[in-house]
Structure 1
Amino acid sequence: MRRALASCLTVAMLFAAPVHAEAENPLRAGGSWDDLAYDILGDVTPEPAGDALALDAPFRAYDPALVPVHLTQPPDAPVIGELVLVVDENPAPVAATIRLSPAMHPLDFEMRVRVEQYSNIRAIAESEGGTLMTGRFVRATGGCAAPAGRDAAEALAQMGRMRLLSLQKADGYRQVRLMIRHPNYSGLQRDQRTLLNIPAHFVDQLEVWQGEEMLFAVEGGISVSEDPVYDFRFRDNGAPALRVVATDTRGNRFEQDLPLEGRG
């Protein structure tokens, strides 16, 4: 009995060790970054972010069209004013450029992106401490060309609908989830009936306001997922609602005031 138990424990440890190692999935050298770096950064050489900024993403993506990217900072980290999210191997590598107000410090921000092939996902931040970079390597394939999750007619009928969920309130901060209905077509997907490519159609500008204060603004590209979801924390200034303003590549504008429930 003891021998059988020891054998089982040994097997379990052998399988568990690689999973833990993979979970750390640091950035990998090489790939397309050497060609991209100058276009994104010019002559600037970013410093490793270290403890000032962390990016978490799964080593193996469950769904390559919905890969969560979570950015966090400790309280004593430098304030970030702008952040560029890059998926190195995507057809359009810059997934989003995000401008941040001081009310978003320390950063706790998550969004979902498409990943077309095995790639580094990196965040490049302009902060009080200079230009910082961090990231993770993600194994995923086919995210940019993955079929849409909903029927085209349904997607267009619901386009622009928004919902806000209050997740937590503590120590003067709020954690919320913003959900926006939009197909966010990448231009690489095919209509399943005609087999023709669906033209690119995505949310290219998003602003989130708390009263007269803009919390953050996102300039998005084809790598942002269908039906974008943003989880974020911000310092509560007492405004009763968040105002969300979005536009897409066909000139549509969506604007809505979303009440902050459970103000307490």
Structure 2
Amino acid sequence: MGRTILTAAILTASLALPLHGAQDNPLIDGPTWEDLRYDVVGEAEIAPAGDLFTLNAPYRAEDAATVPIHIVQAPDAPPIETATLVIDENPAPVAGEFTFGPAMAPLDFELRVRVNQYSNVRFIAETPEGLRMDGAFVKASGGCSAPAGKDPETALAEMGRMKLRLFGDEVPAAMSTPRREAQIMIRHPNYSGLQRDQITQLMIPAHFIDHLEVWQGDEMLFSMEGGISISENPAFRFVYSDNGTEALTVKARDTDGNNFEQTLPKVEG
């Protein structure tokens, strides 16, 4: 089955399957989360996500610097408005704090992250039923210190360029509003502060996108407060309810105070 539900038959079949635990690498017990928990959510109670949503990630990552994380809900699941993505064993465990607009519900959202050593990756969402969490254990190492894909001069020259890809209209049986699948890609080295310049062997200072917004007209789709765990050249793939605007607008800011904004026409391909 693809990323999204294409026919009523597949929709019906998918509703019969439990979301939680669908992956083969569920969260494992470990002391790190107990040390982090208060800093992330304070004393708030957290329950398992159950059937509200699921996080899927590879058990063994092909590239620790670009590990795909996919969060998905069933079509009738209540909306998620805010959520936090945590990678327990990373130097800065909070990878991102997200706010999702109504058009993103039900959530079908994917991004790429760095994983520095074998770690639980967890998605903690604020739901009408309180905080809920799902996650996966990912075998990867060295993601935060992996060499950048491009030399610093080239990376800086291309910094801030954006691209939008759309993957066509979809109208699942349970929804009357057209749902579209899109991908936003942003050129930025997103230096973690743990990488070395391959020529000088000096440490490259941290320099990453710390704020991102994606809009369709005057309606915000999602925003992110990001950290060093978001991959180089950040990419976000998501499904949303199209309100008919002709373009998506992306606004980003990095830790050096650079602001980037681009309006991207909706063009298939």
Partner residue of 1:27?
27
How much does 1:98 deviate?
Answer: 0.5
> 1:22/1:241 Cα in 2 relative to 1: closer, same or farther (>3 Å)?
closer
Structure 2 spans left out of the alignment, 5+ residues = 1-20, 172-177
Partner residue of 2:208?
202
- The 1-side partners of 2:118 and 2:231 are apart by 17
- 1:94 lines up with 2:94 in the alignment: yes
Are the counterparts in 2 of residues 31 and 88 from structure 1 also a CA contact under 8 Å?
no
**What does the per-residue CA deviation read over 1:51-72, in whole Å, with 9 as the maximum and x for residues that have no partner?**
1111000000000000000000
Partner residue of 1:128?
128
Partner residue of 1:165?
165
Identical aligned residues as a percent: 58
AA aligned opposite 1:70: H
> 1:173/1:22 Cα in 2 relative to 1: closer, same or farther (>3 Å)?
closer
Partner residue of 2:14?
none
Partner residue of 1:184?
190
- Of the three residues 202, 217, 226, the one matched with 1:220 is 226
**TM-score, structure 2 as length reference:** 0.88
How much does 1:23 deviate?
Answer: 5.7
Deviating more after overlay: 39-48 vs 132-141: 39-48
- The 1-side partners of 2:23 and 2:265 are apart by 37
Are the counterparts in 2 of residues 22 and 59 from structure 1 also a CA contact under 8 Å?
no
Partner residue of 2:37?
37
Are the counterparts in 1 of residues 23 and 56 from structure 2 also a CA contact under 8 Å?
no
Deviating more after overlay: 232-241 vs 22-31: 22-31
Partner residue of 1:47?
47
- The 2-side partners of 1:23 and 1:51 are apart by 13
> 1:23/1:84 Cα in 2 relative to 1: closer, same or farther (>3 Å)?
closer
- The 2-side partners of 1:90 and 1:31 are apart by 14
How much does 1:185 deviate?
Answer: 0.1
Specify the SS of the correspondent of 1:147. coil
Specify the SS of the correspondent of 1:169. strand
How much does 1:31 deviate?
Answer: 3.5
How much does 1:129 deviate?
Answer: 2.0
CA RMSD of aligned residues (A): 1.5
Specify the SS of the correspondent of 1:137. strand
Runs of 4+ in 1 over 6 A off after TM superposition: none
Partner residue of 1:14?
none
- The 1-side partners of 2:253 and 2:211 are apart by 5
**TM-score, structure 1 as length reference:** 0.90
AA aligned opposite 2:135: G
Specify the SS of the correspondent of 1:75. coil
Specify the SS of the correspondent of 2:90. coil
How much does 1:205 deviate?
Answer: 0.3
AA aligned opposite 1:64: A
AA aligned opposite 1:197: M
